[in-house]
Amino acid sequence: WPVLTALATLGCDKRPEVRQVSLDTLFASLYLHGPKLSPGLWNIVFKGVLIPLISDLRQLETAAASVDVGPVKCCRVALCQVVGIFGQFYDAIGFLPELLFCLGACMTTESNSGLACAAATTLENLLVSHGLKFPENVWGLIADEVRHVVSQIQPTWLLSGAPTSSTSDDVAPSEELLSPMAQFRSANFDPPGPPSVISMYPSVMQCLQFDLNAVPRNHLTATTDVIRPTSGYPSTTHLLVLLTLQSLLGNVLTARLKGPLALSPGHAASLLGALKESYAFCRQVNDRLDVRTTCTRAGWMYPLDKPAAMSSSMLPQELNGKWEYLRVLFAMVNKHVAVADSRHQLTELVTRTIGEYLLWSRAHSSLNLTTVTTPISPDEQFRSKSYVPVIVDILKELTAMPPAEVL
């Protein structure tokens, strides 16, 4: 293995051509001679060579100039190769928690969105392609780590100071603070808590020297222990990783229904709960127009294809998570797993999602929308447009189900 160490060292060389040739030689050698390596030697190779290599390449990428994209590409390729080797030779290697934690660190602490998303995609490919090799205790560790990463990358600090419920004694919030159609939300949704309305009084804000153009920074709340980022808005990298992890959760949970994955019912329920929590949280943020506006003023621009007049939002994460959750429910009903509960959840969520689409399109026949005199906002238009792919996928799934099941 000293030869492999030397190749890994050259793989972090500042010269791109040396780096590329060294990494190609390193991974080609491992694929070629891997069947001959003992479990003990594989353990040394991963812990002493490959996992440190990922860390060294990440540091090289951070230190490189912004115009030099070589290290980024090499680190991404190396990450995929290391996980690919682990999956192919898992029977001889055995499970390595260090590799799982390395991927988790890339997803939670990496500033480069391409590398962070590559870590999430690589983990998804590993679980879907080689998940049948993992015993139940390994799946338990994987499920716990995935749920931990999902909770870490969600910007829960956005709502850390917002009330979680409202009562009849609450003062009604200013209409412009909430999404235009929030008053017509389905009764199945918990109404958003009333936000602060101090922004209605500019003179008071000026007197008290309040600045609501930026979310309070580096503030550790006593109740949530959540630190707000210095930027004042959510990390785009984390939001992109969340999209990938939502797809990972959906693919793993549907694969469990198709094959004998050793993922226990308890851990499967935990992952399904994490998926539901992810899109429910995004929905809460999207309904808080005051929070979104504040973050947009601080410099948050997401999604990139949103109208210029619309405040940034987490709409892609809300709809992607909702669809992945629906996809799992459809699979559970088709496979007759927890039929009564699955059918109830599926019916409720499909009805709610289609109703929301009609609501944002102002085409909901069961609601009196004539009282809404404001023109259709860019926010409503973008939401209505974004719902279309989900509605189409729902209709395809309903069409494929037996007529008796649909009725």
Local confidence band at 198 (pLDDT 50, 70, 90 cut-offs): very low
Domain around 223: 138-349+383-407
233-259: average pLDDT: 95
In a domain, 401, yes or no: yes
Task: Give the model's pLDDT for residue 64.
Answer: 65
In a domain, 10, yes or no: no
In a domain, 119, yes or no: no
Local confidence band at 187 (pLDDT 50, 70, 90 cut-offs): very low
pLDDT at residue 191 greater than cutoff 80: no
In a domain, 132, yes or no: no
In a domain, 209, yes or no: yes
In a domain, 403, yes or no: yes
Candidate from 66-70, 102-106, 141-145, 275-279 with smallest mean pLDDT: 66-70
In a domain, 356, yes or no: no
Asked if 272 and 324 count as a contact pair (C-beta separation under 8 A), the reply is: no
Task: Name the maximum alpha-carbon separation found in the chain.
Answer: 76
Residue at 246: amino acid letter: Q
Of all residues in the chain, the percent with pLDDT exceeding 70 is 78
For residue 350, the tally of other CB atoms under 10 A from its CB is 18
Phi and psi at residue 362, in whole multiples of 5°? 55, 45
Candidate from 162-171, 319-328, 371-380 with smallest mean pLDDT: 162-171
DSSP state letters, 262-313:
---HHHHHHHHHHHHHHHHHHHHHHHBHHHHHHHHHTT---STTS-TTSPP-
Asked if 271 and 143 count as a contact pair (C-beta separation under 8 A), the reply is: yes
Rounded CA-CA distance 94/141 in Å is 14
Give the 3-state secondary structure of residue 178. Answer: strand
Local confidence band at 171 (pLDDT 50, 70, 90 cut-offs): very low
For residue 275, the tally of other CB atoms under 10 A from its CB is 26
Cα separations in angstroms, 156 against 127, 184, 244, 278, 396: 27, 25, 18, 10, 34
Angle between helices 51-63 and 2-10 (to 10 degrees): 20
Task: Give the model's pLDDT for residue 370.
Answer: 64
Which run of H or E residues covers position 79? Answer: helix 70-88
Candidate from 89-93, 288-292, 365-369, 401-405 with smallest mean pLDDT: 365-369
Q: Please, which residues bridge with residue 81 across strands?
A: none
For residue 179 the two structure tokens come to 């999404």
Single pTM value for the model? 0.81
Asked if 121 and 76 count as a contact pair (C-beta separation under 8 A), the reply is: no
Cα separations in angstroms, 297 against 60, 62, 177, 208, 259: 33, 28, 15, 20, 48
**Count: domains in the chain:** 1
Q: Where are the beta strands (DSSP E) in 62-120?
A: none
pLDDT at residue 244 greater than cutoff 80: yes
Rounded CA-CA distance 246/129 in Å is 17
For residue 175, the tally of other CB atoms under 10 A from its CB is 11
N residues, the chain: 407
Name which residue leads in pLDDT, 86 or 172: 86
pLDDT at residue 103 greater than cutoff 50: yes
Q: What letter would DSSP give residue 324?
A: H
Asked if 147 and 271 count as a contact pair (C-beta separation under 8 A), the reply is: yes
pLDDT at residue 317 greater than cutoff 90: yes
pLDDT at residue 216 greater than cutoff 70: no
Local confidence band at 172 (pLDDT 50, 70, 90 cut-offs): very low
Rounded CA-CA distance 85/107 in Å is 20
Q: Cβ contacts of residue 138 below 8 Å, gap of 6+?
A: 95, 262
Name the most confidently modeled range: 31-35, 58-62, 168-172: 31-35
* Burial zone of 164 (CB within 10 Å; 0-12 exposed, 13-18 middle, 19+ buried): exposed
Over residues 3-40, the pLDDT tens digits come to 988 999 998 888 888 888 999 999 999 999 999 999 99
Name which residue leads in pLDDT, 232 or 256: 256
207-223: average pLDDT: 43
Rounded CA-CA distance 314/56 in Å is 33
